[in-house]
Amino acid sequence: MKRKIFKLLKRTLLAILGLLVLLTVTTFFYMKKAKFGKQPSGERLALMKKSPNYKDGKFVNINHTPELTEGYSMLGVTYEFIFKKNERRYPVDSIPSIKTDLLNLPAELDILVWFGHSSYFMQIDGKRILVDPVFSGNASPIPQTVKSFKGTDRYTVDDLPDIDYLFISHDHYDHVDHETIMKLKSKTKKIICGLGVGAHFEHWGYNIDSIIEKDWNETIKLDSNFTAYTTTARHFSGRGFNRCNTLWLSYVLQTPTMKIFIGGDSGYDTHFAEIGNKYGPIDLAILENGQYDQKWKYIHLLPDEVLKAAKDLKAKRLFPVHSSKFVLANHAWDEPLIKISELNQAIKLPLVTPVIGEFVYLKNNEQQFKQWWTGVK
């Protein structure tokens, strides 16, 4: 009897070991796919190592930034996300949107068009700018895992005009989509990104002369009276198992007539006040508001912190993004917009909350927006 039990255990262990080996080999070869990008190396890596923000083989935040709030574990967070799902994480209805003609915009029109989550297009003072584009309908390297909401994929790369400047805040999949980036190649003149991120674009066939990689607190002269200032953020990066091997950024974009803050992803910290004191007032602050949780409060803004950050930046208007397209947290899909609207009643900061595709007139501070999420199930 003991011998039979021993043989059964041995076969079971060998089967488990075989499965683990197969999974490891499959993962290894899958992660060789182009979509995962490229690790920085050579001269690029040497330049990264000179950064004061690069320590012990990775980039670090200005202040200590745990991935999870004290008292929580990654295992517990993963279990909750998989097995304790909020029933309203996904909308039942289609998300409303408007299809506008971006290919034939009058040159004098200064507008912003949001595509959901953190992707948006701007035409300002004669320049065309695209930020963190994701048009594939998936915010993950694994197909069919982080799918976009119904109604949020009205636009494709074909709907975009030529882009003067493609701004990348960091290299996570919900901000840098390989499929989209490949289709943009013939339309994009310059890419602005953090140190190391250019390795992905070079790997994907972009001309190295078109890639501008910068550290925090640098100045990029884009054109006459067009300047981008690279500013700090409190987040992390990585497209594979290596984390923080590329730099995450926010930007202050100074055009001939406006100052716009491109926030990317960031938890709350002292850097917002520092940026506001140095560059403020900001005409339009674009800040993440969504996919948050108290459990990872150091790397994403909670709704009340979005308003605090906007105040720190001395913002005249606030555009809350990072919501209404993908599920990356356990809150209801419309909670970010509901909460920030309620909290803002005491502050009354002009909120920019367009429907996907709606024109935001960048120089019209009096433009009003409907709470389009009301009544959407």
Question: Can you tell me the distance from the alpha carbon of 241 to that of 31, in angstroms, rounded to the nearest whole number?
Answer: 10
Give the pLDDT band (50/70/90) at residue 80. confident
Residue 63: pLDDT above 90?
A: yes
Question: Can you tell me the distance from the alpha carbon of 309 to that of 287, in angstroms, rounded to the nearest whole number?
Answer: 8
For the chain, the domains span 111-361
Alpha helices in the chain (DSSP H): 2-30, 42-49, 74-83, 178-184, 198-203, 271-279, 303-312, 335-343
pTM, two decimals, is 0.94
Question: Can you tell me the distance from the alpha carbon of 226 to that of 134, in angstroms, rounded to the nearest whole number?
Answer: 25
Q: What is the pLDDT of residues 122-157, one digit of tens each?
A: 999 999 999 999 999 999 999 989 999 999 999 999
Euclidean distance between the first and the last CA atom of the chain, given in angstroms as a whole number: 60
Q: Where is average pLDDT lowest: 214-218, 225-229, 241-245, 333-337? A: 241-245
Q: Which amino acid is at 148?
A: S
Q: Tell me the β-bridge partners of 59.
A: 54
Question: Can you tell me the distance from the alpha carbon of 23 to that of 168, in angstroms, rounded to the nearest whole number?
Answer: 32
Q: Name the DSSP class of 132.
A: S
Angle between helices 335-343 and 303-312 (to 10 degrees): 50
CB 100, CB 120: distance < 8 Å: no
Residue 18: pLDDT above 80?
A: no
Give the pLDDT band (50/70/90) at residue 82. confident
Q: Which CATH architecture has domain 111-361?
A: 4-Layer Sandwich (3.60)
